[in-house]
Structure 1
Amino acid sequence: MGRPRKARESDIEEVALALPRAVMVAGWGGLPSYRVSGRFFVGYRTPRPDAVDAESGERLTDVVVFRVPDEGDKLALVQGDGPFFTTPHFDGHASVLLRLAHLGRLSRDELAEVIVDAWRSQAAPTVVGRWEAERRDG
Structure 2
Amino acid sequence: MATLKDVERLVAALPETVETTKYGNRTWAVGGKAYAWERPFSKADLRRFGDESPPDGPILAVRVEDLGEKEAVLAARSADGFFTIPHFNGYAAVLLQLDEVPESVLGEALLDGWLVYAPAAVAKAHLGKSKT
| Bin of the TM-score, shorter chain as denominator length | 0.7 to 0.9
- When normalised by structure 2's length, the TM-score is 0.82
Gaps of 5+ in 1: 1-5
State which of 24, 27, 36 in structure 2 corresponds to 1:33: 27
Q: Give the Cα separation in 1 of the matches to 2:2 and 2:27.
A: 18
Identity in percent = 28
Q: Offset at 1:14?
A: 0.7
Question: What is the aligned counterpart of 1:122 among 114, 117, 123?
Answer: 117
Question: What is the one-letter code of the residue matched to 1:21?
Answer: E
Tell me, in whole angstroms, the C-alpha distance in 2 between the residues paired with 1:66 and 1:36: 13
Question: Structure 1's 66 and 55: CA in aligned 2 closer, same or farther, altered over 3 A?
Answer: same
User: Displacement of 1:75 after TM fit?
Assistant: 1.0
Query: What secondary structure sits across from 1:11 in the alignment?
Result: helix
Matches of residues 98-113 of structure 1 in structure 2 within 5 Å?
A: 98-99=96-97, 103-113=98-108
CA RMSD of aligned residues (A): 2.4
* Cα deviation digits, residues 4-50 of structure 1 (max 9, x gap): xx322211111012100001111222x21000121100011243213
1:126 shift after superposition: 1.5
The amino acid of 2:94's aligned partner reads V
Unaligned runs of 5+ in 2: none
Task: State which of 91, 94, 101 in structure 2 corresponds to 1:93.
Answer: 91
1:82 maps to which of 80, 83, 87: 80
Local SS of the residue matching 2:95? strand
Q: Give the conservation status (yes or no) of the 8 Å contact 1:47–1:61.
A: no
Instruction: Report which of the two has the higher share of helix.
Output: 2
Aligned equivalent of 1:19: 14
CA offsets, 1:38-94, max 9 Å, x none?
A: 110001124321355554778x78432100122222112223333111122212211
* Separation in structure 1 between the aligned mates of residue 85 and residue 66 of structure 2, nearest angstrom: 16
